Amino acid sequence: MELIHKNLPALIVVLPLCMGLLTSIIGRRGLGWWMAMATTGAVFAMSGQLLWNVMHDGAYQITYQMGSWPAPFGIVYIVDPLNASVLMVVSTIAAVLTLYARKSVASEIQKNRLHFFYALWLFCTTGLLGITITGDAFNLYVLLEISSLSTYTLVALGRARNRRALTAAINYLVLGSIGANFYLLGIAYLYQVTGSLNMADIHHILVNQVFPTWGGDAPQYRTTVIVGFAFMAVGLSLKLALFPLHGWLPNAYTYSPSAVSGLLASTATKVGAYAFIRVIFTIVGVDFAFGLLHTDTALMVSAGAAIIIGAWLALKQTNLKKMLAYSSIGQIGYITLGFSLNNVNGLTASIIHLFNHALTKGSMFMALGVVVYRLGNARITDVRGLGRQLPVTMGVFVVGGLGLIGVPLTAGFISKWYLVTGAIQAGRYEMAAVVLVGSILALMYVWRVVEQIYFGKRDENAPKLREAPLTMLVPMVLLAAASIYFGIDARATSWVSQTAAELLLGVKL
Amino acid sequence: MKDNVLMRVAARWNMPFLIIFALYTQTHGELGPGGGFQAGVMIAAAFIVYGMVFGAADMQRIVPRWLTDILAALGVLIYAGTGIYCLTQGYAFLDYTAIIPSNPGGAEPWGMVSVEWGVGITVASVMMTIFNEITEGTLPGQEHESHDTEMVGKA
């Protein structure tokens, strides 16, 4: 027990990796699901423990050295309130979705590929957890590739239902690889200047040795650092699907298997956003990114456009999965807007929205997954009049929809409250207005579906549908209930997020 | 290419040398240039050359696909397993001191060798898997296993 406690930061990444490998060897005949379930359950418990430990740690930091090499030379895993909360998001969603995946995936993927599916599922989780926990900029790239490569394959596995999954996966692969390689290139530039790959060490060298020389004898470093940061920013924007770079997202979400859509929407882009926050606040520092380069203005414009245009495009979709995908682009806008405001409330909004949106979107994609499970498709005409036949599923969808709008007593409200407060504090009234307009558009696209669900008439001759199987219902209801719970009692989530935000901005010492 | 004597002889006679040199690179990795990655590629190259000349089906008789699938995973497991072994001995993940606590300097090569074997095995089997995937369906009498006929779900 003591051993596990001491090595939690390493085990949280190594365990799903090893189990994923084992699953690909011995995971046939349904064993794969059990292994995935046990692993994600264990990972959930571990990240809970880590979050607890770090929040009750005086320095708000847990450091773990890989191998016998000390910090700037070897790889260190660092847990602080920010990434502990992101770990929590990833592991919660992974555990809940694994439970959900059993029936859903079995109906959408060939039987002889199921063990590979769960292996990839665990690799994806490994990568996402690793990106979140690592304190090494290059290690982050490696884990980014682990999660991305498995995600491309997971998306492509949707081909049994719709062959367009293949083009979506290729599209995602090309753009995702460009994103990852831009990030790698950026790291290379920074490495050239600082000679270090450790995030904290890069920051330390930049602030103490590189920035002060800019006026004097080493002006050439200036361009190198700026170009390096630009590559990283663009690469990560691609990964997190920030507005003009969101092209891969809608189709990848729409055509992948339902469980994969849920995992992607709730965790993959969130982890991308986390990495972006890390790059800006931990690696290059706010003074450089926002003070010198005015990245915040660019991010705000992108985020504002994402919120409005994402919601507007969502309004026009007839495929509900695609509607949720466009809505996700808008939600990513909220997250980006939050941290570009560069104040405690804005950053808190970002971090808390990572969690709240994961709950909301996760549950909505799961609800649509049930529709796909029963009907084979999820167009807006398919859900017409389903309110009576699938009361629980549709209830979950509506709760999620309310969360997207940001109705009080749902988790979405808490995020938007912080966001609007932050925008007003920063003197960005127009951004506060954008958030409100985005909410109104969200109201419109959610209402459009709700109207069909409860007031539409289902075809008389259409077969009567049964409610989803229990293994799909329970995880869905759990997430929806959590999103309401954290909308009413947000003490825990805002405590963690606010601490993380204060630590990032250096307000809390 | 099977009909060409030159190719046949070259493929057959190069194989032992490729494998021997691969093993040298593998076992010498912690002291000189080389290591698991290069060795793995060379081992795979030996089989792939054979496969290119005599056909992938012949190669798969020697190294069946189920074997490469298992070995690919096994290699990474050896790597991670080394780390976990260190961890269970009370040291950090991949801290090789755990292997011989009384002599950390002497333990380092052992740790590296074991990790490199993991790398070598995985790289070799993944290379062969890639070759198998590329040739799949291009050989006469070996149909691409079709996934599309068995549509699943209620589409």
Query: Which residue among A67, A68, A107 sits closest to B153, beta carbon to beta carbon?
Result: A107
Q: pLDDT tens across B14-37, in order?
A: 889 999 999 988 888 667 767 888
B34 CB-near residues (< 8 Å, 6+ apart): B24, B25, B26, B28
Task: Give the mean pLDDT of B43-61.
Answer: 88
Residues of B with Cβ-Cβ distance to A161 under 8 angstroms: 153, 155
**Residue of chain A whose Cα is closest to the Cα of B83:** A67
Identity of the residue in A3, A25, A160 whose CB atom sits nearest the CB atom of B153: A160
**pLDDT average, residue stretch A3-8:** 83
**Residue B18: how many other CB atoms lie within 10 Å:** 17
Give the pLDDT confidence score for residue B154 in this predicted structure.
37
Select the highest-mean-pLDDT range: A489-493, B10-14, B91-95, B118-122: B118-122
| A409 touching B (Cβ < 8 Å) | no
Give the separation between CA A214 and CA A210, rounded to whole angstroms: 7
CA distances from A356 to A47, A299, A348, A488, A489 (A): 17, 21, 12, 12, 12
Question: Mean pLDDT across the stretch A264-272?
Answer: 90
Check residue B148 and give its pLDDT.
42
pLDDT at A218: 62
Amino acid code (one letter) for A29:
R
Residue A459, pLDDT > 80, answer: no
User: Does the pLDDT value for residue A343 go beyond 60?
Assistant: yes
HSE of A176 in the Cβ direction (CA atoms, 13 Å)?
24
Contact list, A67 vs chain B (CB under 8 Å):
92-96
Tens-digit pLDDT profile for residues A385-410: 888 888 898 999 999 999 999 888 88
- What is residue A399's predicted lDDT score, i.e. its pLDDT? 93
Place of tokens 């011989």: B100
Residues of A in contact with B119 (CB under 8 A): none
3-class state of residue A278 by DSSP:
helix
Tokens 């002497």 -> residue: B106
Cβ separation of A7 and B87 shorter than 8 Å? yes
What pLDDT, on the 0 to 100 scale, is given for residue A216? Answer: 63
Distance from CA of B155 to the nearest CA of A (A): 5
Q: What's the pLDDT score for residue A308?
A: 93
Q: Which residues pair with A136 in a beta bridge?
A: A198
pLDDT tens readout for residues A85-110: 999 999 999 999 999 988 888 888 88
pLDDT tier for residue B145 given thresholds of 50, 70 and 90: very low
pLDDT interval class at B152 (50, 70, 90) = very low
State the average pLDDT over residues A310-326: 91
Give residue A16's pLDDT.
Answer: 93
Interval A443-455: pLDDT, tens? 999 999 998 888 8
Among A299, A282, A385, CA closest to A334:
A299
ipTM of predicted assembly, 2 dp:
0.82
Q: Determine the residue of chain B that is closest to A160 in CA distance.
A: B151
pLDDT value of residue A471: 87
Check CB contact of A66 with chain B, cutoff 8 Å: yes
Average pLDDT over residues B52-69: 87
3-state SS record for A291-336: HHCCHHHHHHHHHHHHHHHHHHHHHCCCEHHHHHHHHHHHHHHHHH
Q: Do B155 and A376 touch (CB under 8 A)?
A: yes
Is A461's pLDDT higher than 90? no
Q: Report CB contact under 8 Å: A3, B69.
A: no
The domain segmentation of chain A, as residue ranges, is 294-509
Question: Is there a contact between B94 and A22 if contact means CB atoms under 8 Å apart?
Answer: no
Task: Report yes or no: A134 and B121 within 8 Å, Cβ to Cβ.
Answer: no
Do the Cβ atoms of A24 and B69 come within 8 Å? yes
Measured between beta carbons, the chain A residues lying within 8 angstroms of B92 are 7, 10, 64-68
Mean pLDDT of A40-46: 94
Helix (H, G, I), strand (E, B) or coil at A214: coil
Q: Could you count the other beta carbons within 10 Å of the beta carbon of residue A112? A: 11
Contact A235, A181 (CB under 8 A): yes
Report the pLDDT value the prediction gives residue A470, as an integer from 0 to 100: 87
Strand-pairing partners, residue A63, are A78
Q: Identify the pLDDT of residue A133.
A: 93
In order of A183, A186, A421, A467, B131, the CA distances from A226 in angstroms are 13, 9, 31, 55, 42
Q: How far B83 CA lies from chain A's nearest CA (Å)?
A: 8
Chains A–B, number of C-beta pairs less than 8 Å apart: 76
Q: Which residues of A touch B69 (CB under 8 A)?
A: 24-25
What the block records as the tokens of A180 is 């990852």
The answer to whether residue A508 scores a pLDDT higher than 90 is no
- Distance, CA of A35 to chain centre: 24
**pLDDT computed for residue A176 by the predictor:** 92
Could you read off the pLDDT of A154-211 as tens digits, one per residue? 999 888 888 888 999 999 999 999 999 999 999 999 999 888 899 999 999 988 888 8
Q: Do A3 and B80 touch (CB under 8 A)?
A: no
Does residue A40 carry a pLDDT above 70? Answer: yes
| Residue B100 contacts residue B107 (beta carbons within 8 Å) | yes
User: Mutating which of B82, B121, B149, B154 best tests the A interface, going by the most A Cβ atoms within 10 A?
Assistant: B154
Checking if the pLDDT of A150 tops 90, the result is: yes
Residues of chain A contacting residue B83, judged by C-beta atoms under 8 Å apart: 10, 14
Kind and range of the H or E element at A392?
Answer: helix A391-405
- Residues in chain A, how many? 509
